[in-house]
A and B are shown apart, each in its own frame.
Chain A
Amino acid sequence: MSNEISPDPQLSRRSFLRAAALGIGGTLLVACVPPAPGPSAAGGEQAPAAENAPIIYWSMFGLEEAAQAEAQVARFNEETGKNAIFMSIGWGNVAQKAQVAIEGGSPPDLVSLWSQAYTWGPRGLLLPLEDYAERDGWTGQGWSEPAYEALWSENHLWGTGHTLNMFALHINKGLYEEAGFDPAQPPTDIAALDDMAEKLTTLDADGNLTQLGFLPWQNSNLWHWGWAHGANFYDEENDKILAGSDEHILQALEWFVSYAEKYGIDNIDRFQSGFGRATMSPDDPWYVGKVAAQIDGSWKRSWIPRYAPDLEYIVAKSPTAAGVEPVSLVEIGAMFNVPSGAKNPEGAWELAKEFASKRCQIEFGNLVGDIPPLLEAARDPEFLNSYPYNDQFIEMAESGGRAWPRIPVLELYKDEMNRLVDEVVHGKVQPQDGLDALTQKVQKELDDFRKQTAA
């Protein structure tokens, strides 16, 4: 180092500009290169997996359900000599994590989701499995029909399942009897339901609600009550959204409005926002008697002994409008999907088939109370007697069950329906106008999607 005082190295303006231009230009070039096409669908050039290649399974389950799934996986490994690895991700995280993993190119081999398949599948994030199913003769024989249909969308089979979420009217027996009703005679039609709601709703001296007999959108939605009025939300043949044109949906929506007007929507809002957490907690408004009756899921009966062991309850098939048979959503509780780009799709399919087997279905049903899609498993005494009122649900799985419209814009449809009910019961929009706007919006998205994927 010399002794002279040297000036600070000044980057001349030109050099700086040149370097900056190079940096930004290089970045621009890299940024504007279109993404490389992803891996191809089933049957593409995938090297045959080694005999003991791992089958990575990301599960939505936690706690006891995870423990059971882990045992089922261990048993599968023992019996088949395969190497399935169970990972409990939890239902709060699994969808997001799986999405990122799939798009990032390092997905698990099997993942349990719920209705994501209808949106993800047609967008290329999941592997269609109908070729595997055909090869192995897995036809869903003996399954509840809407349940099996629910595994398919856009002519592709997206996975298997081992449990169904179903819904029925859950009534607080104590309150029901106190009001003078006969527990052996739950309401079966809308009029009886309204009557029960009337008698079981109490107000205090200031006119505030202290107990809600029944409210259509408490723990339920317009889908359920639309179906209960005999509605159809989607015309599969013509690919049309029917929210605006099916009069039954309008009837259901106007029935919602009648409740808002009866008690005053502000009152209802206040009362509802005071409800404790409904999921897996003893503060569920139905447990503590704030709500006398509500539509609830088949899993509730497995939670009651845990969170409200002293509660006496009745489960009845949902009341319906005249001429409509008892109805329930039949939703695949956990769909076992194989992501696009999975390294061991063959192994994943084997595991998915195992989970859908009769014994796994019964085991899960006994733990959670949800209904096995295989009717033979559902009618098996081992499951049938595990919880009270199982037969009510099973009858609906056999007939009267409805599946989601399995369209690629289902998430938007559901979101818009929630918004619609919110706006209509608050008087912000007229029912038919709201339904028309919703139909237009969702139909447009659907049409755009069809156009873009046809290209």
Chain B
Amino acid sequence: MKILLPRREWRRLRVGLLFASPWIVGFLGFTLYPIIASFYYSLHVYTTFGQPMQWVGFSNYRELLGQDKLFWVSLYNTAYMVILGVPFHIALAILLALLLNVKLRGVAIYRTIYYLPTIVPVVATSVLWLWIFNPEYGLINAGLSLLGLRGPGWLADPGLAKLALILMGSWTIGGTVVIFLAGLQDIPQQLYEAAMIDGAGLLQRVFYVTLPMLSPVIFFNFIIAVIGGFQTFTEAFIMTQGGPLDATLFYALYLYRNAFEFFKMPYASAMAWVLFLVVVTATIFVFRTSARFVYYEGDGSK
């Protein structure tokens, strides 16, 4: 059993670590340290700047889970965005990627057009969609009124506000589409040819060739979208400030309020750790169930 590396290998290792050191230092200092520190702080209360914190054990967590009604409201709102929003966006992105995968002249232009919204800053997007959703003058309700329908209140309606935000999120799925496009390019043509020889129609080809071969990419995008979904913040911060009637009070927004408006930093740290546990649980759950629907080429599994 090797205990010490031979000198040459040790030297190479040192060089490698040296090259990686900016990232390592950054990770330790700006990611790992704050994470661990925030857990430490969440076990205290911190009232006066400059004075030492007071140890309270898990009382912040107890208060969060036991007495804070808004915690559960914000968790529900966030879970709503994840459970309804993510599948919708993924499905839409796949559909779009399939459409953009055709070998037409000028398809590159369409791909660019669909990607452009993702580079618009979130703040600008939020203000833009605030106007699109305006019940009196917005584009959507104006369009509906042309059809003789009375458009709903969208962001002013507590029952619809989250759906409106999900709709808005579908404007920026360009990044996901691009990743799916890359995945689609990877599917070998002979599979399609074999399927067509066997008499498969378009839909059958999509469901029995494309989607299974695309499943690792779907899985990746799904995880990323879930993690992102749990962190919804900017849209609510800019557009609705958590309203109406706390319908868009998302977890991250409530955390921000506790930290920076009510000055309860340790409480907000506890919230952050609870969110972390929720996201980790969700991710593990998705990973565990992934074996059933993700097909990796070269894998012997179904």
> Which chain A residues have a beta carbon within 8 Å of chain B's beta carbons?
6, 9-12, 14-15, 23-24, 27-28, 30-32, 34-35, 37-40, 96, 99, 102-103, 119-120, 122-125, 266, 269-274, 340, 409, 411-412, 415, 419, 422-423, 426, 428, 445, 449, 452-453, 455
Contact = CB atoms under 8 A, between A and B. Distances in A.
Contact of A103 (B49, B134, B155): B49
Contacts of B136: 270-271, 273-274
A272 B156 contact: yes
A415 B261 contact: yes
A125 B53 CA distance: 15
Interface string B11-24: 01100000000000
B135 A270 contact: yes
A168 B119 CA distance: 44
B5 A9 contact: yes
Interface string B125-166: 000000000111100000000000000010111100000000
Contacts of B72: none
Given A9-B10, A422-B244, A455 B156 contact: no
A34 B13 contact: no
Interface stretch (B28-36, B89-97, B220-228, B273-281): B28-36
Contacts of B9: 6, 9-10
Contacts of A6: 8-9
Contacts, number: 114
Contacts of B53: 34-35
Given A123-B263, A340-B49, A422-B244, A27 B156 contact: no
Interface stretch (B40-48, B167-175, B209-217, B287-295): B40-48
B202 interface: no
A32 B5 CA distance: 33
Given A32-B36, A34-B52, A39-B50, A119 B263 contact: yes
Contacts of A340: 49-50
Contacts of A39: 50
A12 B156 contact: no
B39 to A, nearest CB: 8
A32 B263 CA distance: 21
Contacts of A11: 5, 13
A423 to B, nearest CB: 6
A123 B5 contact: no
A119 B258 CA distance: 13
Nearest to B48: A124
Contacts of B245: 422-423, 426, 428
A423 B52 CA distance: 39
Contacts of B262: 409, 411-412, 415, 445
Contacts of B45: 452
Contact of B47 (A15, A123, A271, A273): A123
A15 B13 CA distance: 11
Nearest to A37: B50
Q: Which 4 A-B pairs have the closest CB atoms?
A: A38-B50, A274-B136, A9-B9, A124-B49
A37 B49 CA distance: 8
Given A35-B52, A273-B153, 20 more contacts: A11-B5, A15-B3, A23-B28, A24-B32, A32-B40, A37-B52, A38-B51, A102-B49, A123-B48, A270-B153, A273-B136, A274-B135, A274-B136, A340-B49, A411-B262, A415-B262, A419-B246, A428-B245, A452-B54, A453-B48
B2 interface: yes
Interface SS majority for chain B: loop
User: Of residues A28, A30, A270, A455, which shows the largest number of chain B Cβ atoms within 10 Å of its Cβ?
Assistant: A270
A67 to B, nearest CB: 27
Contacts of B135: 270, 273-274
Nearest to A448: B45
A269 B48 contact: no
B51 A124 contact: yes
Interface in B45-88: 45, 47-54
A270 B62 CA distance: 40
B273 to A, nearest CB: 14
User: Of residues A12, A96, A426, which shows the largest number of chain B Cβ atoms within 10 Å of its Cβ?
Assistant: A12
Contacts of B49: 38, 102-103, 123-125, 340
Contact of A273 (B3, B50, B134): B134
B260 interface: yes
Contacts of B263: 119-120, 123, 411
B66 to A, nearest CB: 13
User: Of residues A12, A27, A103, A449, which shows the largest number of chain B Cβ atoms within 10 Å of its Cβ?
Assistant: A27
Contacts of A270: 135-136, 153, 156
A30 B2 CA distance: 31
Nearest to B36: A31
Given A124-B51, A274-B137, A27 B33 contact: yes
Contacts of A14: 1-3
A103 B50 CA distance: 9
Nearest to A418: B243
27 contacts: A9-B13, A10-B2, A12-B2, A12-B5, A27-B33, A27-B36, A32-B36, A35-B52, A37-B51, A39-B50, A40-B50, A96-B260, A103-B49, A120-B263, A122-B48, A269-B244, A274-B135, A274-B136, A340-B49, A340-B50, A411-B261, A411-B262, A415-B261, A422-B245, A452-B45, A453-B48, A455-B54
Contacts of B156: 269-270, 272-273
Contacts of B137: 274
A15 B5 contact: yes
A451 to B, nearest CB: 9
B43 to A, nearest CB: 10
Contacts of B54: 452, 455
A183 to B, nearest CB: 30
User: Of residues A11, A120, A445, which shows the largest number of chain B Cβ atoms within 10 Å of its Cβ?
Assistant: A11
Contacts of B3: 12, 14-15
